[in-house]
Amino acid sequence: MATLRALKRFSSILNVFIKFHLDELIDELGANKRTKIILFLLPRRWFRGKADQPRGERIRLALEELGPLYVKFGQSLSTRPDLLPEDIAKELSKLQDDVPPFAEEIVLEIMTETYPDGIDEIFSEFDAKALASASVAQAHAARLISGEEVIVKIIRPNIWEQIKEDMNILFLIANLLSKFSIAKRLKPIEVVKDYQKTVLHELDLMREAANCAQIRRNWEGSSIIKVPEIHWDFCRKNILVQERIHGIPIDNTEKLKELGVDFEQLAKNGVRIFFTQVFHHNLFHADMHPGNVFVDVADPSNPKYAAVDFGIVGSLEEKDREYLAKSFNAFFEKDYGQIANNFISAGWVPDETKANEFESAIRTVCDPIADKPLEEISFGQLLFRLFETARDFNMVNQPQLIQLEKTLLNIEGLGRQLYPKLDLVSSAKPVMEEWRKEQLSITNTFKKIHKDLPEIKKTIESIPPLMRKILDEDENKQNSPQVDISYFVRQLYMGIIGVGFLIVGAVLLGFNQAAAFSIIAIGLIVLLISKPKQ
């Protein structure tokens, strides 16, 4: 039954594909003769007229007709200008994830099933009519018994079955496309895999709640951003209950202007928020389109961002952040050799990459950007150009960096829409410099030691048995030169004591820094004494 349903769905997708003349794109992708013959034999192709719309528009219309999952897929693709021609990416950016809500009766049925004691025990008010509706979930206004206004987000019923079916078809299409010579560059299977991961994460609202709660903790007490509180007692995998955020949508510039909002300050705060999330918090909101960002205008001279919808977040490994910051700094110093070495050292391009050739290619794309006035420089465009160049040198797929690039382009676009003369460099550089200082500080070094204490303890505990083994083996040697093994054992134990002082100091860092640094100093002295004679 499931197979029959899938075949029927695939047939309907193929009909839409032909209806919008998307089969004509096959020639551009380098299809073989067999594929062309199969397409030619499809009857629907015989009785249609000529395509009278640009290819990008036809692709957008086809995705809209196929439904929510494909609309979302098109939106995802629109953020990948590294993969798509500009005309198609631009057209796909017009796709709106706005679908009709499911019936109010179904909403109440889901709520009753989720809260068997009755929703009246939790909510004094609950509006079954959707406040907003998208492809994966919809939002409802409500009020808790305690009086707090909340938003209740509900996953669409039976969506998992639909997504599973459509994802199988997307993988089938991706496999077919991967056999076309030109389409291989688009990496269709990798693109669909990344999209599948994103959609599956969005289906788990407990994951979204955890993301939101962590980002709220990161910004606790902030004067520039507000993040909603999660009401954990009422959250489930298919339902999220969070504080309702009131504010002006960030794209409603007329209203913001009317209220006297300082657009320059708002734009600068947005850049500061993003770079702080990336470099200091290592958890950034990766879906910062205008529908998810509001402005709290209680103080128009220092407007506060209010973010919602944390289904998609991003993070980078420590080495990614380090080499990213180094590359930004190298760009401003026009040290393109350093950028090339950073990409190789970070593992973003293969080790065998010829650094001099890579440096030359980087210089070609970076010099035109570097010579622009500061208010015209785009970090997002810089990353895009660097990654585009790196792909010519077989760049390893780095989805976390692509996610960063996409979000950065969104932030910059939003910032310059608010304040066209926004100087991203002066807004972002202090945040990165502060992060670099933190990384080089002795406090941060010992924090890392504190973090690695279990491994250090395990290593130290393994040393005495190892030494006993070495001593036993030495005694069993018959004709070996005589060596004062006891001297080395003493030095080793002095070293262990020194490391012990360092560990105790690292533990105390969070309680008494003066005492901690004193103990650490003693540890360093002991380690110097324990250094073996040359």
Q: For residue 236, give Cα distances in angstroms to 7, 103, 276, 372.
A: 34, 21, 30, 50
Query: Sign of torsion, CA 501 507 508 510?
Result: positive
Does residue 306 sit in helix, strand or coil? strand
Distance in angstroms (rounded) separating the CA atoms of residues 408 and 402: 10
Angle at 269 between CA 268 and CA 271, to 5 degrees: 65
Distance in angstroms (rounded) separating the CA atoms of residues 242 and 234: 9
* Chain centroid, CA 293 distance in Å: 17
* Burial profile 386-411: b = 16 or more Cβ within 10 angstroms, e = fewer: bbebbbebebeebeebbbbbbbbbbb
Read out DSSP for 434-449?
HHHHHHHSHHHHHHHH
The answer to whether 287 is a known catalytic residue is yes
- Smallest CA-to-CA distance from 230 within 209, 211, 201 is with 209
Dihedral angle of Cα 50, 51, 52, 53, to the nearest 10 degrees: 180
Distance in angstroms (rounded) separating the CA atoms of residues 198 and 192: 10
Longest distance between any two alpha carbons in the chain, whole Å: 97
Distance in angstroms (rounded) separating the CA atoms of residues 456 and 55: 60
Catalytic residue among 82, 287, 309, 320: 287
- List own/partner pairs for 339-345 with CB under 8 A and 24 or more apart: 339/366, 339/386, 343/386, 343/390, 343/395
Name residues whose C-beta falls within 8 Å of residue 463's C-beta, 6 or more positions apart in sequence.
Answer: 492, 496
Q: Which amino acid is at 121?
A: E
- Smallest CA-to-CA distance from 531 within 500, 485, 487, 477 is with 487
Distance in angstroms (rounded) separating the CA atoms of residues 196 and 163: 9
> In terms of DSSP bridges, do strands 132-133 and 123-126 run parallel, antiparallel, or are they unpaired?
unpaired
Dihedral angle of Cα 299, 305, 308, 313, to the nearest 10 degrees: -160
Distance in angstroms (rounded) separating the CA atoms of residues 307 and 329: 29
Dihedral angle of Cα 218, 219, 221, 223, to the nearest 10 degrees: 160
99 touches 134 (CB < 8 A): yes
Does residue 16 sit in helix, strand or coil? helix
Active centre residues (catalytic) = 287
